[in-house]
Chain A
Amino acid sequence: MARFLARRLLVAIPTLFGVATIVFFIVRLIPGDPARVMAGEAAGDDVVDRIRANFGFDQPLPVQYARFIANLLRGDLGRSIRTGDSAVNEIVQRLPHTIELAVLATVLGALIGITFGIVAATNRGRPIDVLVSALSVSGMSLPTYWLGLMLVIVFAVNLRWLPAAGAEDPRGVILPTVTLAALSTALIARMSRSAMLEVLGQEYVRTARAKGVSGARVLLGHCLPNALLPIVTVIALQFGALLGGAVLTETIFSWPGMGRLLVDSIFARDYPVVQGCVLLFSVGFILVNLLADFLYAVVDPRIRY
C-alpha cells in the first residue's frame, strides 16, 4: 500500500509540472493585458508600464517562465496583480469556503443519493422507482443557475427564511449546498440504483434471504458494501469537481470560494492567481483520486495494491 501511494505521488510530479507549464502559457495567450486592467480606464501608458515592471511582465516570456518555475519550487506562486497580496494568501483565504461547500454538498448528495438509489432498486419497476428516476433526470438536467435562482426567489425573496447571498450569515451555506447537491444526488442515486440492482440479483443475497436474515440487514449488511465500489468512484469524482469551485453556484450566491476567485482572476488576467488556482485544482484531483483508490481497498478487502 505504502509503495503504491509513493509511486502514485511520484507520478503526480510530472503531471503537475505539465499542468503548470500549460496554464502558464495558456493564460498569456488570452488577449488582454493585466497591467492595463489594473491601471484602470483613465491610466496612461506610463502607469501601465510601471505596473508591468513591478510584476516582471516586461521581461521576455522564457525569463518569466523560468522565474515562475523557480518560485513554484519554493512554494511561491507570485503576487496577485489585482490585490498586490501573495497569490498563496488569496487562495488560502478562499479555500475554506470552497471546502465547506464541497464537503457539505457531497455529504448531502451521498446521503440522499444512496438512500434514493436503494429505495429505487428495491422497488424496481414500481411507481417509486419511476419517481426516483424522474427526480434524478431532473436533478441532472436542471441548469444550476436556474435552480439557484429559483431557490433564492422562493426561500429568500418570498419566504424570507434564508439569506439570498454571502457567507457572512451561517445559514447562507444552505441554499448553495442544496443547489450543488442536486446534481450530485442525481448522479449518486442513479449509480446506487444500478449497482444495487446488480448485487440484488446475486446468489449470496438469495442465500441470505433464504436463511432468514432481515430485509434491512440484507440491504445494508450484504448488498450495500458490495455495491459501494462504483458509488465511491462517483462520489470521489463529484467531490473533486466541487473542490474546483462551483463557479455558477458561487456567483449566484456570492459565495467567496475558489470558483469565483478563478473567474475574477481570469477576467482581470491575474496570471499568478489563475496559475495558482489551476495548480491547486490539479493537486486536489490527484489527491481525491488517490483517496478513492485507498477507499477501494477499505470497502473491498479483495483489492490489494
Chain B
Amino acid sequence: MQTSAFAQSRLRPAAFVAAIVFSACTAAPPGAGTSAAPTGNATASAAASHKTGALLTITIGVDPNHVDPSLINSGQGSNIASYMAETLTTFWHTGKLQGLLATSWQPSTDLTQWTFTLRSGVKFHDGTPFNATAVKKSIERLLDPKLAVVTSNDVGLFVGGVDVVDDTHVTFRLKQPVHYFPEALANETSAITSPQSWTATGNTYEQAENVVGTGPYKLVEYVKGDHVTVVRNTEYWGEKPYYERQTFKVIPDAAGRETAVRSGQVDVATLTPAPDIDSLKADSSLQVMLPVGGRNVYMAINTTSTTQPLLQNPIVRQALNYAIDKDAIVKNVLFGAGQPVSSAIGSNAFGYCKQGPYPYDPEKSKQLLQQAGAAGMTVSMISPTGRYLQDIQAAQAIAGYLTAVGIKVNGPATADSAAYQGMVSAPPATSKTELFIWSFAPDFPHASQQLGRLLITNSIPPKPGINYSHYSNSTVDSLVAKAAQDAPNSQQAVDDYCAAQKQIWSDAPFIFLWEQALPTIVSAKVLNVQVAPNAIVNAVYAEPK
C-alpha cells in the first residue's frame, strides 16, 4: 500500500488560525497586521475520537549526535529535536508555512525588520514562560560562535540583532532585505529553548544535553549511538499527541532497519534498501510510503572544466541530458523511489516552475554532440557510495547511457562521503571533476535557498556555497537577487524565480536526474505517520489503529 506524503496531513486548530493570519499578513500593508489569539479549545472534543498508545518506535539510520536544536546539523536530528523544541514558524504539518510559536509576523517596508507576534500562555517543559526574551536569548545563543558545534543556517546568515518589543512581540533586524525570512526561521536550529535550562544540571551553555523546549514531547533520555526516547508533554499548549512515548532507535544498516520493522521490533523504518520496496509492498502487515521530498539528485557537470573543455558548451550539456532515460533509472535502479527532476529546485518549493524533464532522445543527443564537435568525447565520472539512495548504481547506469551515444566514460570512480566532498568542493582553478553525482536538500522548501546556494556566481567555491558545477550566468544572478527583494510570496517573486529556472534548465549545469523519495515503512497497526517536506518522517501525531 502506498500512501502519499501529504494526503494524511491534518492541521492543528491553532496552527490553522496562524495559517489564515499569515495569508492575510502577506497582503496587508506593513504595520497593519494583527494576531488572532488561538484558543486551542477545539482540540478537547476532537481528542475523544483518537486511540492512544504506549510506545511508538521509529528506526533511523544516523545518530542525531545532538538533541540541542542549536547544535543540530542533520535532517534526522532536526526531526527528533522538533518533538521537544519548537520554532516560531514551521512547514512540518502541511508543507506550507504556518505559525507555530509565532501567530503572525510583519515585515518593515524594506524587508529588513521582521516583527513576530508570539503565542501567549505557552510554557517551557521546566515551567518557565515562553516569551520575547526567551526568543531573543535563544537566537543570540544560536549565533554565538562559542557553541560546541557550529551549524550553517540562514538565520545566522541574515540576522544582525533581535529586539524585545514587549512580552509577546520580538523584532529581528536583518543585515539585508530578505523576503523569505519567516521560512528561514522554520529551520529547527532556530527553535526556542528555555534559557534557564542551559545552565541547569547536566547542561552547559555550549551544549545542552537535556533539551527543554515547548514541544508536544519531552526528552526522557538520549543514549548516544543507540536511541532517543521522548515522553508526552501533558501540559502541551496545542493538540496533545496520542502515543505516551516515542523512541528513535539508531540502526545504521539499511537491511537492519528493514529486519527490525519486519520483526515488529520497531513500528516505523526509514530509508530501507530500495531493491526491497516491492517485497515490502507485498507484506500486508506493513505500509510502504514513498514520499518525494525536496532532494533533487543530479549528475553535476563541471561547466568550467579544463580537463574536458567541451563540457563548457551548453549544447554538449543538453546532449548529455537527452542521452539519459530518467524514467528507466527511476523504475529499475531506484525501484520507484523517486520521480524525474523537472526543474532546478524541488517540486514542493515556493517558486517552483516546471521545465522538463528532458525527454530521452539518444538520436537528438548524438546530433547535438555532432553539432558541438563533441562526438566520441571522453569524460570522467565520480560517484559517492550510499550518500544518496542508489547513487553508484545510478552512476553506472548513466555511464552506460552515455556510452550508448558514443561518449567514452572513465568511471564511475567512487570515494567515501568525506573524501568525495573534498573532491567536488575544490574551487574551479584546481578542480579536476567533470561529471559527478551531486544533490542538495534545502532546509526549507523555497527557491531562494536552493538557487542561492547552488546556482549563482557568488556560491562558487571558495565563496560560501555549493555551486560545484561552477555555473555562472548573470541573468540568473540578477533574477535571484531581485526575487529576494520582491514582496513576500508575491507573483512577482514567483515570476523571477521561474525565469531563473528557465535559464538554468537550458544551460543544463547538471544532467537532471531524479527527485529522491525516502522509502519509509510503517507498521499497518500505526496510523497517521506523515513525512515532512524535507522528506523526514513526522510521527508526532501518529496513533494506533
- B partners with A: yes
Nearest residue, chain B, Cβ from A37: B418
The one of B66, B224, B421, B423 in contact with A37, judged by C-beta atoms closer than 8 angstroms, is B421
Nearest residue, chain B, Cβ from A39: B152
A160 neighbours in B (Cβ, 8 Å): 263-264
**How far is B73's CA from A268's CA once the two chains are assembled, in angstroms?**
13
Let me know if B150 and A51 touch, CB within 8 A: yes
Residue A293, interface by CB 8 Å: no
Let me know if A82 and B65 touch, CB within 8 A: yes
Let me know if B225 and A260 touch, CB within 8 A: yes
A260 neighbours in B (Cβ, 8 Å): 225, 252
The one of A30, A44, A90, A164 in contact with B263, judged by C-beta atoms closer than 8 angstroms, is A164
Residue A18, interface by CB 8 Å: no
Taking the closest CB of chain A, its distance from the CB of B267, in whole angstroms, is 13
The one of A37, A47, A90, A166 in contact with B226, judged by C-beta atoms closer than 8 angstroms, is A166
A40 neighbours in B (Cβ, 8 Å): 73-74, 151-152
Let me know if B255 and A33 touch, CB within 8 A: no
Let me know if B73 and A39 touch, CB within 8 A: yes
A38 neighbours in B (Cβ, 8 Å): 73, 149-150
Chain B 440-456 against A: per-residue CB contact (8 Å), 1 yes, 0 no? 11110000010001000
Chain A 156-176 against B: per-residue CB contact (8 Å), 1 yes, 0 no? 110010011111100000000
Residue A9, interface by CB 8 Å: no
A261 neighbours in B (Cβ, 8 Å): 225
Residue A59, interface by CB 8 Å: no
Let me know if A32 and B418 touch, CB within 8 A: yes
Let me know if A251 and B252 touch, CB within 8 A: yes
Residue B327, interface by CB 8 Å: no
Residue A204, interface by CB 8 Å: no
Taking the closest CB of chain B, its distance from the CB of A269, in whole angstroms, is 5
Nearest residue, chain A, Cβ from B209: A85
Count B interface residues, CB 8 Å: 59
The one of A36, A46, A90 in contact with B422, judged by C-beta atoms closer than 8 angstroms, is A36
Let me know if A254 and B265 touch, CB within 8 A: no
Taking the closest CB of chain B, its distance from the CB of A55, in whole angstroms, is 10
A141 neighbours in B (Cβ, 8 Å): none
Residue B196, interface by CB 8 Å: no
Chain B 383-423 against A: per-residue CB contact (8 Å), 1 yes, 0 no? 00000000000000000000000000000000111111111
**How far is B443's CA from A40's CA once the two chains are assembled, in angstroms?**
11
Taking the closest CB of chain A, its distance from the CB of B273, in whole angstroms, is 12
The one of A30, A31, A43, A45 in contact with B462, judged by C-beta atoms closer than 8 angstroms, is A45
Interface centre among A94, A160, A256 (most CB of B within 10 A): A256
Let me know if B464 and A256 touch, CB within 8 A: no
Nearest residue, chain A, Cβ from B465: A44
Taking the closest CB of chain B, its distance from the CB of A76, in whole angstroms, is 16
**Known contacts A39-B150, A261-B225, A32 near B463 by CB under 8 Å:** no
Let me know if A252 and B256 touch, CB within 8 A: yes
The one of A32, A51, A153, A167 in contact with B419, judged by C-beta atoms closer than 8 angstroms, is A32
* Residues B224-256 near A (CB distance < 8 A): 224-227, 247, 249-253, 255-256
**Known contacts A163-B265, A254-B251, A254-B256, A168 near B227 by CB under 8 Å:** yes
Let me know if B256 and A84 touch, CB within 8 A: no
**How far is B280's CA from A157's CA once the two chains are assembled, in angstroms?**
13
**How far is B151's CA from A264's CA once the two chains are assembled, in angstroms?**
19
A253 neighbours in B (Cβ, 8 Å): 256
B145 neighbours in A (Cβ, 8 Å): 50, 54
Let me know if B256 and A43 touch, CB within 8 A: no
Let me know if A269 and B249 touch, CB within 8 A: no
The one of B227, B249, B263 in contact with A157, judged by C-beta atoms closer than 8 angstroms, is B263
Q: Can you give 18 A-B contacts (C-beta < 8 A)?
A: A37-B417, A41-B421, A46-B464, A51-B150, A84-B149, A156-B263, A163-B265, A164-B256, A165-B259, A166-B249, A166-B265, A168-B223, A168-B247, A252-B253, A256-B223, A261-B225, A264-B63, A268-B418
Chain B 64-92 against A: per-residue CB contact (8 Å), 1 yes, 0 no? 01100001011000000000000000000
Residue A34, interface by CB 8 Å: yes
The one of A54, A94, A165, A269 in contact with B150, judged by C-beta atoms closer than 8 angstroms, is A54
**Known contacts A83-B66, A256-B226, A45 near B152 by CB under 8 Å:** no
Let me know if B461 and A45 touch, CB within 8 A: yes
Let me know if A41 and B466 touch, CB within 8 A: yes
Nearest residue, chain B, Cβ from A260: B225
Residue A227, interface by CB 8 Å: no
**How far is B255's CA from A221's CA once the two chains are assembled, in angstroms?**
48
Nearest residue, chain A, Cβ from B453: A42
**How far is B439's CA from A221's CA once the two chains are assembled, in angstroms?**
68
Residue A128, interface by CB 8 Å: no
Taking the closest CB of chain A, its distance from the CB of B245, in whole angstroms, is 12
The one of B263, B416, B440 in contact with A32, judged by C-beta atoms closer than 8 angstroms, is B416
